[in-house]
Structure 1
């Protein structure tokens, strides 16, 4: 692909004729590279409302070891530390 007539400097787009002093700081970017850079910004940007990646512990935010039974939505470590306050009784 042909190079685009723009140079990238941070978030500013500068035409070639205005970049005599900043040419060493900039580099030309092809259209394919621009698409790749844009894709990395939107990767996993849509919120996930299903599956194990969408659920976390309501106490500490940990997504691992989640107890979902009875709508507890608490990881096993937080459940053990808060079981008596919640109302669970250990029989064994």
Structure 2
């Protein structure tokens, strides 16, 4: 996974897992995208994430379109990863 982060910083994880690409949109907001989809394909968007007040708000647009609150960005990425792997968010 590569992230488009402020000040040109890029983070990466192990290539063994297919992880969503995060595109930073400012003010604690991110768009999680399918890394294998064409960059011009609007269907590549999997979810919107917002980090605010020590909570990560996740709105999935693939799978079950619902908003959930999570304690960390990593937990949110795990939820989005479930969409990439199985086509739907894990049930709670």
TM-score range, shorter chain: under 0.3
**TM-score between both structures, scaled by the size of structure 1:** 0.20
TM-score, reference length from structure 2:
0.20
Which of the pair is proportionally richer in helix?
A: 1
Larger relative contact order (CA 8 Å, sep ≥ 6)? 2
Select the structure of larger CA radius of gyration.
1
